[in-house]
Structure 1
Amino acid sequence: MKSAASRWAHVDALKAVACQLIVLHHLAFYGPMSDVASPLAPGLFEWLSQHARVAVQVFLVLGGFLAARSLAPQGRLKPQAAPWGLLGDRYARLVLPYAAMLLIAIAASALAGEWMEHDSISNPPRPAQLLAHVLLLHDLLDFEALSAGVWYVAIDFQLYAMLLGLLALGAWMEREGGLRRRMAPGLVLLAVGGSLLYFNLQSGWDEVAPYFFGAYGLGVLVAWWSGPRPRKVALVALGVLVVVALATEFRERVAVAALVALLLGVLQWRPHWVPKAQGRAGRAMAYVSRISYGVFLVHFPVCLVVNAAFTAFMPAEPLWQALGIAVAWGSSLCAGALFHHHVELRAMAWIAARKARVQGHSGSYGLR
């Protein structure tokens, strides 16, 4: 039997690679180091700038896949689960490290502004702007983002809330209708269809969850319908839906999400096909996967400061600026690791301790 680490090696690999592509995309897209270094490999810089951002789809599908396995592994919300409590936990898990990152981003913009002028440098935030970021409402309220990628944190929370809502609705329909059949998978399928065939075609919806639920929902449904005994009819219907969506309008992001979901489904069906995660390479991949949220949060402030330093103090020559890109990439990984250990893990420990205290108080009150 495969170990747990081996069974999840493909998930670790997807997270680790997608995280690096996001870092490199931002380095290539925002400059100014990439503006000088791009003649060294124009095709590579063009691809990283315009196409590497599709790696976000990997995180969307994995997010749905892991959320489904955690919240409702059998397609039904766990009986002891309290949706509001779960939503609060998710908010704290996302926002406590994210709030720390916002302070780092503000400081990074201030420092970078001393060394260069560039569109990627944010203005000092107003109190309302900072509050909107903490409440994950910055895009909805049209505030300037304080760092690249902060939109994803808000969307992740919205998607989790949307899935919880569908699970709760499915449980209510089963309870009120006296149904034994699980209703949540059908509701999620309808939501995926609505996303792929309507919302994801409308650019004006790209600030809210329905635009992205097609990819997220693919991960959810694959988690439920694949495995040693796959739901073949349901999976065929899901495949037809994806084909129709791509025929309606081909979107690279949808195609990539479908391929990631297909990979997850096949490896759930045939877990012995998962490559073994052994040795230093396997441990390194698992580690980069664990710190991926920390890297995602802090990489842009780090890259901004390195961009400013190399612009101000190093020759404006391709090789020197390419070295700056390598320094920014490596520094992002190191900063992400430090952030994971000293901020993210401490935040998770605080959340766990608080839950334990609340549950302990609830128990003591119940004995009176």
Structure 2
Amino acid sequence: MPISSTRSSASRIPLLDILKGLACALIVGHHLVFYGPMSDVAYPLAPDLMDWLFAYGRMAVQVFLVLGGYLAASTLAPQGVARFDSPLQQVLRRFVRLSTPYLAALMFNLLAAELARYGMDDGSVPAEPSLPQLLAHVFLLQDLLGFEALSAGVWYVAIDFQLFVLAVAVLSLARFLSVRWKAPWLAPVLVLLGACASLFYFNLMPELDTWGVYFAGAYGMGMLAFWAGHSTRPYRWLVALATLGLATLALDFRGRIAVALVTALALGVLQASGGARHWSPMPALQRLGQMSYSVFLVHFPVCLLVNALFNQFWPTQPWANAAGMVIALALSLRAGQWLYQHVETRLVSMPMALRMQGGLLVATGLVLLGLKAL
């Protein structure tokens, strides 16, 4: 898959953020329907919409998986060859970027859950965490160690980190082998083989859904879409990618893989099309996409608090609870905007991130102790 040097420096496509914004809105909608009593009370007002969000909203995660692979390829190996020197440095940098806003949102979630217990008795409220459970969440190991999640969506952050580590490892191996074998095309081949292994084997085993290999097919398709869109013959490679996806679906049709395939092909076509790089028809949705990670992190505790409030004062009124769901969505966007502006976009070093995280842990512990003393 020869890479065109003129395309490898292409500017960011605004439509990427629009895709992220749409996916973010769907996931928040899914969680609003899935968790808390408000959706149960408001259900008779819009049963078809809520049933659809309940069943299909979570598939928007596939868009983020594909975009994650696409952006990883653009950062780590835009011309199909690893351009970083230290794999460990890349992994640590990614951990800092993910964990700084993640931990801030997680601490907020602990406080929100503590307050929500006073307003409702519902299965969506996480139980009080043990110290090992909290530490497992801090290091993104909660699912691998068998701990209950403290917030909706934290599993995805752990999976994203696993996939990034896997991508760094594969690209590093490809660079090492390509020097010895004189094969600069080796990285896309290894990514393709890994994606095939996931799509045709690992993704058929639901018990592996806490491991990155289960989702590596979607992530790998995102990486391949980036390289295809930058190649000298983009549409030939995109047809090959479509053939791989269709073969996967013929073996065992999975809606989530179909969504991932369509997303990957759309990204490849957009990248290959010069005009699409600058077309931004929905600026509001683009802004949501830019802060989608922060919204994704913080929306669950916001929805917990709104659910608890409306359960206290309007426990049986459908229209009031429907309004509560809209309010929860609006407050989630506002909270996500604050987290994005004041935490996610701050450039921090590893020592500074560790100090911030340590301070958050101590401050949250003191506040929780104060709440229990009341």
Task: Give the TM-score taking structure 2 as reference length.
Answer: 0.88
Query: Which one of the candidate residues 344, 347, 350 is aligned to 2:348?
Result: 350
Q: In the alignment, which residue of structure 1 is the partner of 2:251?
A: 248
Call closer, same or farther: CA 1:166–1:230 in 2, change over 3 Å: same
Q: Equivalent residues in 2 for 1:101-250 (5 A)?
A: 101-177=105-181, 179-227=182-230, 229-250=232-253
Q: CA RMSD in A?
A: 2.0
Secondary structure of the equivalent of 1:51? helix
Question: 1:9·1:286 contact (CA, 8 Å) conserved in 2?
Answer: yes
* CA–CA distance in structure 2, aligned partners of residues 352 and 73 of structure 1: 25
Shift of 1:243: 1.1
Partner residue, 1:361: none
Give the 3 Å change call, closer, same or farther, for CA 228–237 of structure 1 in structure 2.
Answer: closer
Task: Find the aligned partners of 1:135 and 1:292 in 2 and give their Cα distance.
Answer: 22
Is 1:49 aligned to residue 63 of structure 2? no
- One of 51, 75, 96 as aligned partner of 2:80: 75
The whole-number CA distance in structure 2 between the counterparts of 1:58 and 1:96 is 23
Aligned letter for 1:302? Answer: V
Tell me whether 188-197 or 313-322 shows the greater mean CA deviation: 313-322
- 2:79, 2:319 → 1: CA distance? 54
Q: Which stretch shifts more, 314-323 or 69-78?
A: 314-323
Q: Is the 8 A contact 1:64 1:220 kept in 2?
A: yes
Show the counterpart of 1:364: none
Go from structure 1 to structure 2 and tell me whether the alpha carbon gap of 1:267 and 1:352 turns closer, same or farther (over 3 Å shift).
farther
Asked if 2 retains the 8 angstrom alpha-carbon contact of 1:222 and 1:265, the reply is yes
CA contact (8 A) 2:13 2:271 kept: no
Q: Letter of the aligned partner of 1:131 in structure 2?
A: L
Q: CA deviation at 1:330?
A: 0.2
Secondary structure class of the residue paired with 1:74: coil
Q: Does 2:265 match 1:262?
A: yes
What is the CA–CA distance in structure 1 between the aligned matches of 2:235 and 2:266, rounded to whole Å?
A: 15
What letter matches 1:220 in structure 2?
M
Contiguous gaps of at least 5 residues in structure 2: 1-8, 354-374
Residue 353 of structure 1, CA deviation = 9.5
C-alpha distance after superposition, 1:145-178 (max 9, x if no partner): 110000000000000001111101101111222x
**TM-score (normalizing by structure 1):** 0.89
Sort the Cα spacing of 1:274 and 1:344 in 2 relative to 1 into closer, same or farther, 3 A. Answer: closer
Counterpart CA distance in 1 for 2:202 and 2:57 is 23
What secondary structure sits across from 1:350 in the alignment? coil
Range with bigger deviation, 248-257 or 234-243: 234-243
1:181: how far off?
Answer: 3.1
Corresponding letter in the other structure for 2:63: V
Q: 2 CA distance for matches of 1:276 and 1:5?
A: 14
The amino acid across from 1:77 in the alignment is A
Cα distance, 1:238 vs. partner?
2.5
What stretches of structure 1 of length at least 5 have no aligned partner?
356-368
1:64 aligned onto 2:91: no
Cα distance in 1, alignment partners of residues 233 and 316 from structure 2? 56
In the TM superposition, what whole-angstrom CA distance separates every residue of 1:239-272 from its partner, at most 9, and x where no partner exists? 2221111011110100000001111111111121
CA contact (8 A) 2:68 2:219 kept: yes
Q: Which residue of 2 aligns with 1:359?
A: none
Q: Which residue of 1 aligns with 2:103?
A: 99
CA distance in 2, matches of 1:345, 1:48: 30
Provide the C-alpha distance between the structure 2 equivalents of 1:173 and 1:155, rounded to a whole number of angstroms.
27
Please give the alpha-carbon distance, in whole angstroms, between the structure 2 residues aligned to 1:165 and 1:134.
23
Query: Partners in 2 of 1:311 and 1:354 — Cα distance?
Result: 40
Q: How many residues align?
A: 345
Q: CA deviation at 1:274?
A: 5.4
8 Å contact 1:25–1:53 — kept in the other structure? Answer: yes
- Relative to structure 1, the CA distance from residue 275 to residue 85 in structure 2 (aligned partners, 3 Å threshold; closer, same or farther) is closer
- Aligned letter for 1:237? A
One-letter amino acid of the structure 2 residue matched with residue 188 of structure 1: V
In the alignment, the residues of structure 2 paired with residue 315 and residue 10 of structure 1 have an alpha-carbon distance, to the nearest angstrom, of 41
Does 2:301 align with 1:296?
Answer: no
Q: Is the 8 A contact 2:38 2:307 kept in 1?
A: yes
* Distance of 1:144 and 1:100 partners within structure 2: 19
Distance change >3 Å, CA 236–CA 172, structure 1 → 2: same
Displacement after TM superposition at 1:35 (Å): 0.4
Per-residue CA deviation, residues 260-296 of structure 1 (Å, 9 max, x unaligned), is 1111111111121457226xx42x2332122111101
Which deviations, in whole Å up to 9, do the C-alpha atoms of 1:305-343 show, x marking residues without a partner? 101100111251111110000000000000001111122
Q: Which residue of 1 aligns with 2:366?
A: none
Distance in 2 (CA, whole Å) between partners of 1:149 and 1:102 is 11
Amino acid at match of 2:329: W
Identity value in percent: 48
Distance 1:247 1:295 in 2: 36
Aligned to 2:356: none
Q: In the superposition, relative to structure 1, how do residues 233 and 181 fare at CA in structure 2: closer, same or farther (>3 Å)?
A: farther
- In the TM superposition, residue 195 of structure 1 has moved relative to its aligned partner by 0.5
CA distance in 1, matches of 2:277, 2:183: 34
Residues of 1 paired with 2:351 and 2:246: CA distance? 46
